[in-house]
Amino acid sequence: MRSRIAVLLLLGVVAAAVAAMAQEDKPYKQAIDMVYGEVHGTGLLMDVFTPTGDRNGLALVDVISGAWFSDRGKIRDHERAKMFDTFCARGYTVFAIRPGSRPKYDGLEMLEHVRRGIRYVKAHAGVYGIDPERLALTGASAGGHLASLAAVTAEPSKPDEKDPVERCDTHVKAAAVFFPPTDFLDWNGKRADMGHIEAILFLGGLEGHSEEEIVARAKKLSPAYQLSGDLPPFLLIHGDADPLVPLQQSERLIEALKAADGSAELIVKPGGGHPWPTIHEEVAVMADWFDKQLKD
């Protein structure tokens, strides 16, 4: 028994050493499960990735959500896509915010959590050595949906709020997202299956809500219908073989942004799914685009 315990302890020490060595090889230090807000006594969490090398004063809010779930597994997905390696190596500080998951929160509540994350980052810009006026926003899939919705519905500052975080606005200087849902009322020429997204429309689902209420809520959660105020420049990256979110969804938002005199670009990945194995290459392209938007 003692020898078995000794072996387990040794394995634990080795695993910790390997993890520490892996962390040293990364271009960032990772702070895990930092609290950026509180909802009904429950903390809203984020990981903060700060560069180990030179910093450029720029920051990226990365909305961590897939299928409107924001568990730690989604952060690992972004790690595999080299989001944090790519941006931190360039000097960016990355705030990987988790806006909560369905069915605990609906889509509008998640949107408010994203806004809280943006405000928190701006309120603590001095602590992290970043410029709050050169903040960017990103996300993929459901995270791309929430990031897009936050970017096109930015809220002004609230100087009368007691909480200094809430006094900050939610404007970002640029937004770039991967394969986001953007129009639940026009999903490749027809309405999206509301049964598939009912948990983000209403807590408890669709039961008890009229057809008019369902359509109105779906529209309110569709970035393509919610453009207001000064719009940041957008970059969308989407595969033309996406089996979950059709390319048409990115095309739809591009169309709406241009109709509102916004700046919008679309990169189509030939054969790209949801996601694709070489997506780190497009992450680098996104980083190049952010460099141009934020450093000017």
pLDDT for 11 equals 54
SS3 sequence, 91-160?
CCEEEEECCCCCCCCCHHHHHHHHHHHHHHHHHCHHHHCCCCCCEEEEEECHHHHHHHHHHHCCCCCCCC
CB 62 within 8 A of CB 97: yes
Query: pLDDT per position in the chain (296 positions), as tens?
Result: 555 655 545 555 444 444 444 456 899 999 999 999 999 888 999 999 999 999 999 999 999 999 999 999 999 999 999 999 999 999 999 999 999 999 999 999 999 999 999 999 999 999 999 999 999 999 999 999 999 999 999 999 988 888 889 999 999 999 999 999 999 999 999 999 888 899 999 998 898 899 999 999 999 999 999 998 889 999 999 999 999 999 999 999 999 999 999 999 999 999 999 999 999 999 999 999 999 999 86
CA dist., res. 296 & res. 277, Å (int): 32
CA dist., res. 78 & res. 62, Å (int): 9
pLDDT for 42 equals 87
- Phi/psi class of residue 243: alpha, beta or left (left: φ > 0; alpha: ψ in -120 to 50)? alpha
Q: Do the strands 42-51 and 93-97 form a parallel or antiparallel pair, or are they unpaired?
A: antiparallel
Judge if pTM exceeds 0.75: yes
Angle at 20 between CA 24 and CA 98, to 5 degrees: 85
CB 43 within 8 A of CB 103: no
For residue 47, give the DSSP letter.
Answer: E
- Phi/psi class of residue 100: alpha, beta or left (left: φ > 0; alpha: ψ in -120 to 50)? left
CB 198 within 8 A of CB 207: no
Domains of the chain in start order, with CATH, are 28-295 (3.40.50.1820)
